[in-house]
Amino acid sequence: MSTPSLLILPGDGIGPEVMAEVVRIIDWYGDKRGLKFDVTTDLVGGAAYDVHGVPLADETMAKAQEVDAVLLGAVGGPKYDVLDFSVKPERGLLRLRKEMDLFANLRPAQCFDALADFSSLKKDVVAGLDIMIVRELTSGIYFGEPRGIITEGNERVGINTQRYTESEIRRVAIAAFELAMKRNKKLTSMEKANVMESGILWRDVVNEVAADYPEVEVGHMYADNGAMQLVRAPKQFDVIVTDNLFGDILSDCAAMLTGSLGMLPSASLGAPMENGRPKAMYEPVHGSAPDIAGQGKANPIACILSFAMALRYSFNEGEEATRLEKAIEKVLADGVRTGDLLAGEGVTPVSTSGMGDAILAAL
């Protein structure tokens, strides 16, 4: 195979500085492990708007379609809050998800032993937590039509449409069942089938797919109960599959249980390309954190772990991914910490690039 290609979109806020550390890791893999990547860098979000007047230029979109994987930092910032909806930084991200058809968003919520104390939850409730949330990412109320703000009589009406086809539900359900098979063979699907017909269809299709995975124990939960159960006893879950909007909220809720948002990566996967690799974009779960941007305070680990997910899911380099994850665990066990995780004894505070140094040293 030719050298695999990566498109790097650092984006806004802390995006560029955390991505800079990822680039150092990528270079290390090229130099030391013979894993070379063909890297292109481009703009997304507010950074793209500043240059092109849109949060994702057509040429950037075209590149994203061609590469083997996209790595994205973060988008958004107060400077762009005044922009019209259609050109807000988020639209760049949503366009990538939609046009690359990245329907399966994998969001691990993992509690790192060394960091369990950072959770607002009791240690025994979260220590060892390891959940995988599979969120549908290309449909539902994020993209459904009709949408907009219309005028009726003399008042405005805000409209959005939740819309799911059988095949949209089926493909993300299959992705979730496949993951469940590789993990603990336990899957919980969440919707509001007691209130929404789209939830009824969701539940039906998940049950249909379940027939092909007799080994997987399948449960269904209403999304409100799901939120409660995540807070009450998160370790009851292994893989969770849910729609775009519920997934947005529930995966953030699950992420916060771990107490270390700066640690959590995500993968967004689509259908296989001609070379067999899935269309893919990798990004940290945290946002652009404009309040600390440009100060060398940001934790680059979530973004680096997103690259580890790329190694695993796009490049079939599971062992190299594990190597990187283990290096990060070691650094954390050694007490090396960015500003988001400073409390505790025997802790060595480092900057964003100091964390990169430590991880490279551990590699």
What phi and psi values does residue 187 have, to the nearest 5 degrees? Answer: -130, 135
* Token pair for 68: 């083997």
87 is in an annotated binding site: yes
d(CA 267, CA 135): 10
How far apart are CB 145 and its own copies at their closest, in Å? 11
232 is in an annotated binding site: no
Q: Which residues are 1's β-sheet partners?
A: none
12 is in an annotated binding site: no
Q: Which of residues 68-107 bind its own copies (CB under 8 A)?
A: 76, 85, 88, 90, 94
Q: Given candidates 12, 68, 238, 248, which one binds ligand IPM under the rule CB under 6 A?
A: 248
Taking CB under 8 A as the rule, does residue 196 contact its own copies? yes
Q: Given candidates 38, 197, 208, 224, which one binds ligand IPM under the rule CB under 6 A?
A: 224
3-class DSSP assignment, residue 147: strand
Q: Cα dist. 143→137, 147, 239, 287, 332 in Å?
A: 10, 8, 25, 21, 39
Residues 6 or more apart whose Cβ sits within 8 Å of residue 97: 105, 137, 138, 268, 281
3-class DSSP assignment, residue 71: strand
How far apart are CB 292 and ligand IPM at their closest, in Å? 18
Per DSSP, 3 falls in state P
Could you tell me the end-to-end alpha-carbon distance of the chain, in angstroms, rounded to an integer? 26
Site string for its own copies, 209-248 (x = CB under 8 A): --------------xxx-xx-xxxx-----------xx-x
* Token pair for 135: 């969120």
Q: Which of residues 155-214 bind ligand IPM (CB under 6 A)?
A: 194-195
The pairing of strands 130-136 and 144-152 is unpaired
Q: Which is nearer to its own copies, 51 or 228 (CB)?
A: 228
Binding site for ligand IPM (CB under 6 A): 90, 93-94, 194-195, 224, 248
Residues of this chain that bind its own copies (CB under 8 A): 76, 85, 88, 90, 94, 120-122, 125, 141-142, 144, 147-149, 152, 155-167, 192, 194-202, 223-225, 227-228, 230-233, 245-246, 248-253, 255-257, 261
